Amino acid sequence: MKCHEAKRHLDLFMDGELSVPENLKVLEHLNLCRPCADLYEGEKSLRALLRARAGSETAPAGLAERLLAEEAPAASPVASFPRRRWLSVAAAAGFFLVMSILVFTTPAEMPRAFATELSTKHKETHEGFCGIHREDSLCLCARCSADPDHADRRFFQRRVSYEVCSHDLKDLGYQMIGVQVWPHRGRPVCWTVYRDAAGSTITHGLVATKIAMEPGPLLVCDGVDRPVVMTPSSGGMTCVFVFDSEPEAQRFRDAKRLK
């Protein structure tokens, strides 16, 4: 997909009106094209600001009566600009300035907010994708996948242009049960779900962006209810693990020799 095609599809992409294959094409282009990704972030921030402002504004008292009165023919009054109107003009100019700043700057990724989003995704995908037939996800159980060996790699290779890291958690008793690709800030997240015999889940995501991090190779954030471990990955990406509980996160850190 070229830049002009991605820009033409951007509004439909943000409104959720594209098909799954078209969504993946737009995501792939945004991952490879920084100017288009910046444009997407600006559009998203502008939409959020407009929604917040529209939701907080209330109609002035008597507006409906004035509008009804204006429907009747009346002589055009001489244009005047009282103080209240000048204040409205100044407020509109300030609002335009804020929107311009949001459009032409990309906000930094905040680890704690991202950890909360990942924690929610962990809860949504806790049971894997068994019986779910969608283009963006794949169940790796014997009933749903005829050839589960390396199926995760083949799944990701068809959807992203870079190598996706794979982690063997069998030493902790976890088996890979499903994979998925979902968008975050205009870039794909390659998501893997692991489960053990007791029904505990570890989810892993490779995020195609560099999350703001504190000094050191490891950053731990508390999500909504569960711990999230983030580590820098190659190519300016971020490798993330989400756990059901702190004891499981500690067991993982001990096994992988992370402090």
Q: Mean pLDDT throughout 123-149?
A: 87
The helix (H) or strand (E) run that includes residue 86 is: helix 83-104
Q: What is the structure's pLDDT at 190?
A: 95
For residue range 170-199, what is the model confidence (pLDDT) as tens digits? 999 999 999 999 998 888 999 999 999 999
- Please state, in angstroms and rounded to a whole number, the distance separating the CA atoms of residues 192 and 167: 9
- Please state, in angstroms and rounded to a whole number, the distance separating the CA atoms of residues 132 and 235: 32
- Please state, in angstroms and rounded to a whole number, the distance separating the CA atoms of residues 11 and 16: 9
* Alpha helices (runs of H) in 107-175, residue ranges in sequence order: 111-124, 151-157
Residue 169 has pLDDT above 60, yes or no: yes
For residue range 98-114, what is the model confidence (pLDDT) as tens digits? 555 444 444 455 677 78
For residue range 11-46, what is the model confidence (pLDDT) as tens digits? 787 777 777 677 677 777 777 777 777 787 877 777
